[in-house]
A and B are shown apart, each in its own frame.
Chain A
Amino acid sequence: MTGATLTQSGGHHALRFFLLRTLQFIAVLATTLLGLVAVTFFIGRIVPIDPVIAIVGDRAPPHVYARVRQELGLDLPMIQQFWIYLKKAISGDFGNSVLTTNPVMTDIINVFPATLELATLGTIIGCLVGIPLGVLAAVKRGSLVDQFVRVLGLVGYSVPIFWLGLMALLLFYAKLGWVEGPGRLDVTYSYMYTPVTGIVLIDTLMQGQMDAFWNAVSHIILPTCLLGYFSLAYISRMTRSFMLNELAQEYVIAARVKGLSEIKVIWRHALRNAAVPLVTVIALSYAHLLEGSVLTETIFAWPGLGQYITNSLQNADMNAVLGGTLVIGTAFVILNLLSDLLYRLLDPRTR
Chain B
Amino acid sequence: MSSAASLPQPAGLRAWLLSPEPTSRWQARLGRAYLGWRTFTKNPLAVFGLGIVLLLLLVALFANFLAPYSPVTGGDLRTARLLPPSAAHWFGTDDQARDIYSRVIYGSRITLWVVLLVSVIATPIGLLIGTVSGYLGGWVDTVLMRLTDIFLAFPRLVLALAFVAALGPGIENAIIAIAITSWPPYARIARAETLMIRNSDFIAAVKLQGASTPRIIFGHVVPLCVSSLIVRVTLDMAGIILTAAGLGFLGLGAQPPMPEWGAMVATGRNYLIDQWWVAAMPGLAIFVVSLGFNLLGDGLRDVLDPKAAK
Q: Report A-B touching, CB under 8 Å.
A: yes
Q: Which of A's residues lie within 8 Å of B, judged by CB? A: 28, 31-32, 35-36, 38-40, 43-44, 46-48, 154-155, 157-164, 166-167, 169-170, 174, 241, 244-245, 287-288, 290-292, 294-295, 298-299, 309-310, 313-314, 316, 318, 321-322, 324-325, 328-329, 332-333, 336
A288→B165 contact, CB < 8 A: no
Nearest-Cβ distance from residue A308 to partner chain B, whole angstroms: 12
Query: What residues of chain B lie closer than 8 Å to A163, measured between beta carbons?
Result: 265, 279-280, 283-284, 286-287
A35-B146, A154-B291, A244-B310 given; A160·B155 CB < 8 A: no
Query: What residues of chain B lie closer than 8 Å to A288, measured between beta carbons?
Result: 155
A325→B158 contact, CB < 8 A: yes
Q: Is B251 an interface residue (CB 8 A)?
A: yes
A selection of 23 A-B contacts at a CB cut-off of 8 Å is A28-B146, A31-B146, A31-B150, A36-B153, A43-B162, A154-B295, A158-B238, A160-B242, A162-B245, A162-B283, A166-B269, A167-B283, A174-B273, A294-B157, A294-B161, A295-B249, A298-B250, A310-B250, A321-B162, A325-B158, A325-B162, A328-B154, A328-B158
Q: Which partner residue on chain B sits nearest A331 by CB separation?
A: B155
Nearest-Cβ distance from residue A245 to partner chain B, whole angstroms: 7
Query: What residues of chain A lie closer than 8 Å to B295, measured between beta carbons?
Result: 154
How many Cβ-Cβ contacts under 8 Å join chain A to chain B? 149
Q: Is B259 an interface residue (CB 8 A)?
A: no
Which 10 A/B pairs are nearest by Cβ-Cβ distance? A35-B150, A163-B283, A291-B155, A158-B291, A158-B290, A325-B162, A241-B310, A43-B166, A174-B273, A47-B166
CB-contact partner of B161 in A169, A290, A313, under 8 A: A313
Query: What residues of chain B lie closer than 8 Å to A36, measured between beta carbons?
Result: 150, 153-154
Binary flags per residue of B277-310, CB closer than 8 Å to A gives 1, else 0 = 0011001101100110111000000000000001
A48→B269 contact, CB < 8 A: no
Q: Which partner residue on chain B sits nearest A306 by CB separation?
A: B158
Given the complex of chains A and B, what is the CA–CA distance between A193 and B194 in angstroms? 59
Binary flags per residue of B111-134, CB closer than 8 Å to A gives 1, else 0 = 000000000000000000000000
Given the complex of chains A and B, what is the CA–CA distance between A36 and B146 in angstroms? 11
A32→B149 contact, CB < 8 A: yes
Most-contacted residue by chain A among B153, B156, B273 (CB, 10 A): B153
A314→B251 contact, CB < 8 A: yes
Q: Which partner residue on chain B sits nearest A166 by CB separation?
A: B279
Query: What residues of chain B lie closer than 8 Å to A167, measured between beta carbons?
Result: 279-280, 283
Given the complex of chains A and B, what is the CA–CA distance between A321 and B159 in angstroms? 10
Nearest-Cβ distance from residue A127 to partner chain B, whole angstroms: 20
A154-B294, A291-B155, A291-B157 given; A160·B287 CB < 8 A: yes
A162-B265, A313-B250, A314-B251 given; A325·B159 CB < 8 A: yes
Query: What residues of chain B lie closer than 8 Å to A295, measured between beta carbons?
Result: 157, 246, 249-250
Given the complex of chains A and B, what is the CA–CA distance between A48 and B238 in angstroms? 31
Q: A47-B166, A167-B280, A174-B272 are in contact. List 4 more A-B contacts (CB 8 A).
A: A162-B265, A169-B272, A174-B273, A321-B161
Q: Which partner residue on chain B sits nearest A171 by CB separation?
A: B276
Q: Is B147 an interface residue (CB 8 A)?
A: yes
Q: Is B163 an interface residue (CB 8 A)?
A: yes
A39→B272 contact, CB < 8 A: no
Q: Which partner residue on chain A sits nearest B298 by CB separation?
A: A154
A162→B246 contact, CB < 8 A: yes
Query: What residues of chain A lie closer than 8 Å to B245, measured between beta carbons?
Result: 160, 162
Query: What residues of chain B lie closer than 8 Å to A333, measured between beta carbons?
Result: 153
Nearest-Cβ distance from residue B34 to partner chain A, whole angstroms: 28
Query: What residues of chain A lie closer than 8 Å to B219, measured between beta carbons?
Result: none
Query: What residues of chain B lie closer than 8 Å to A35, measured between beta carbons?
Result: 146-147, 149-150, 153
Q: Which partner residue on chain A sits nearest B288 by CB separation?
A: A158
Query: What residues of chain A lie closer than 8 Å to B238, measured between beta carbons?
Result: 157-158
Query: What residues of chain B lie closer than 8 Å to A164, measured between beta carbons?
Result: 283
Nearest-Cβ distance from residue A163 to partner chain B, whole angstroms: 3
CB-contact partner of B167 in A48, A174, A298, A329, under 8 A: A48
Nearest-Cβ distance from residue A95 to partner chain B, whole angstroms: 15
Q: Which partner residue on chain A sits nearest B251 by CB separation?
A: A314
Query: What residues of chain A lie closer than 8 Å to B163, measured between beta carbons?
Result: 43
Q: Is B168 an interface residue (CB 8 A)?
A: yes
Given the complex of chains A and B, what is the CA–CA distance between A25 and B202 in angstroms? 36
Given the complex of chains A and B, what is the CA–CA distance between A346 and B161 in angstroms? 36
Query: What residues of chain B lie closer than 8 Å to A31, measured between beta carbons?
Result: 146, 150
Q: Is B231 an interface residue (CB 8 A)?
A: no
Nearest-Cβ distance from residue A335 to partner chain B, whole angstroms: 10
Given the complex of chains A and B, what is the CA–CA distance between A316 and B150 in angstroms? 25
> In chain B, residues 220-272, which have Cβ atoms closer than 8 Å to a Cβ of chain A?
238-239, 242, 245-246, 249-252, 262, 265, 268-269, 272
B246→A328 contact, CB < 8 A: no
Query: What residues of chain B lie closer than 8 Å to A321, measured between beta carbons?
Result: 161-162, 165
B158→A39 contact, CB < 8 A: no
Nearest-Cβ distance from residue B191 to partner chain A, whole angstroms: 13
